[in-house]
Amino acid sequence: MRTRFVSFLAVFVLALAAFPSFGQTTSSDPQSTPASTPASTPAADTKPPEPQPLPMPSMSGPLQTAVPREMEGGKLAVTGILSGIGWTEGNHVTGDSSSHWDVSNAQVFVQKTTGWWQFYLQGGAYNLPAIGVPFLSTADTVKNIYGPFPQGYLKLVKGNFNVEIGALPTLIGAEYTFSFENMNIERGLLWGQENAVNRGIQLNWTHKKITTAFSWNDGFYSNRYTWLTGSLAYAFNSANSLTFVAGGNAGAYAKSTLATPLALNNSSIYNLIYSYIKGPWVIQPYFQYTDVPTNASIGITQGASTKGGALLATYSFKHGFSLAARPEYIKSTGSVQSGAVNLLYGPGSGAFSFTITPTYRKDAFFMRGDLAIVHATDSTPGAVFGPAGANTTQPRGVLEAGFMF
């Protein structure tokens, strides 16, 4: 399958490169300026345009990417992040400890954002902290999950249509993969059911208030290209939008690793996400449903599903201060007696959480902290928190500080 996919991509890229219209300048190209339009003021009096945020990495705030460093005569833009993390928690599991510190991000982002062909490359070290799960060191995260180049792709653009090929950020969910991209340092309970990086091909198209995307990919980093995902977003106005996302595995695969959980890689998932962004407020409530079907041939003797909801909200004060909050609830189906697959803290379990994150940002520097608590319901003894896995509640405090450069 992988050989066929690579061959398909090679033919696809060559065909697009040979298609002349992809090399034509369009009105959407920021470098395109009508020759007949006179300058309204002398060049010496023209105010330089304000630096615009780069399209990648995606940011939900309150952090922002730095003004990019330009290379190759402005054709390439380079940004990056260096940050550290420390945390302490109660009811840690056996084999873990109550406190940790590590590098959370040491990454560089290189991208070309103009012309008919563009690209994005992200490389370095990263940590993927999430509430309700044990700490994994940054070295082990890089080694066992997405490697030192977690995301990177080629982008072919024509007007309001583009094609992306490579290791892409997922369309699923309302939270991004890396800590600095999100309102909170740690990812939430719903994020734990979602994939994060997809290797494959994605088609994107916008028309007036509608934005669509469709992807053929390897799901939970399985290297088996049987996942299909898509999204449809409608912008009511500049402040309000609604997005529907759906994805799932059209095949079945018995692979089970840290990056490719067996049950989740063979699931289907659906999101309904509302976004309100205006002034100091960013508010995103979303609903999520997942389903893992029964498939004894790959070791899932009894399937299960989850339903959950979350509210992501940030308010930005003056002088670089902001406050984010995230309440969540999720519930799974099944039972121990029925032999259902475990998707949370035992078959049929549920959980709710609350995370609050104050942030201070000044120029390139930022510092922020998570105060989070997770409480499991209908859990299976041995599958929750504490040395014996019997405690149903886990509090945690996390501090992250660093520089966006």
Structure tokens at 266: 């063979």
**What's the pLDDT score for residue 41?**
40
Taking every pair of Cα atoms in the chain, the longest distance, rounded to a whole number of angstroms, is 79
**What's the pLDDT score for residue 24?**
38
CB 66 within 8 A of CB 364: yes
DSSP strands (E only) in 69-217: 69-71, 76-89, 99-112, 117-126, 151-158, 161-169, 197-207, 210-217
CA 230 to chain centre: 15
**What's the pLDDT score for residue 50?**
57
Rounded to an integer, what distance in angstroms lies between the CA atom of residue 278 and that of residue 141? 36
Kindly report, residue by residue over 286-340, the tens digit of the pLDDT.
999 999 999 999 999 999 999 999 999 999 999 999 999 999 999 999 999 999 9
Q: Is the dihedral of CA 53, 57, 62, 65 positive or negative?
A: negative
**What's the pLDDT score for residue 32?**
36
Q: Please give the share of the chain, as a percent, with pLDDT higher than 70.
A: 87
For the chain, 405 residues long, the average pLDDT of each consecutive 10-residue run is 41 37 36 37 50 82 89 88 97 93 98 96 98 97 97 98 98 97 98 97 98 98 97 98 98 96 98 97 98 97 98 96 98 96 97 98 97 98 95 98 96
Q: Is the backbone peptide bond immediately before 285 cis, with ω within 30 degrees of 0? A: no
Nearest to 179 by CA among 93, 103, 293: 103
Say what the alpha-carbon torsion angle 201, 207, 209, 211 is, to the nearest 10 degrees: -10
Rounded to an integer, what distance in angstroms lies between the CA atom of residue 318 and that of residue 21? 47
**What's the pLDDT score for residue 151?**
98
Rounded to an integer, what distance in angstroms lies between the CA atom of residue 399 and that of residue 277? 26
Q: Where are the alpha helices (DSSP H) in 294-356?
A: none
* C-beta neighbour count of 10 within 10 angstroms: 10
Kindly report, residue by residue over 146-175, the tens digit of the pLDDT.
999 999 999 999 999 999 999 999 999 999
Phi, psi of 57 (to 5 degrees): -70, 150
Nearest to 89 by CA among 386, 399, 394, 350: 394
* C-beta neighbour count of 314 within 10 angstroms: 23
**What's the pLDDT score for residue 293?**
98
From the DSSP assignment, how many helices (H) and strands (E) are in the chain?
Answer: 3, 17
Rounded to two decimals, the pTM is 0.86
CA 228 to chain centre: 17
Nearest to 300 by CA among 249, 350, 225, 259: 249
Nearest to 60 by CA among 359, 332, 303: 359
CB 215 within 8 A of CB 232: no
Nearest to 330 by CA among 385, 382, 269: 269
Structure tokens at 117: 């062909």
Which residues 6+ apart lie within 8 Å of 151 measured at CB? Answer: 56, 57, 120, 121, 122, 166, 167, 168, 169, 177, 197
Query: Euclidean distance between the first and final Cα of the chain, in Å?
Result: 40
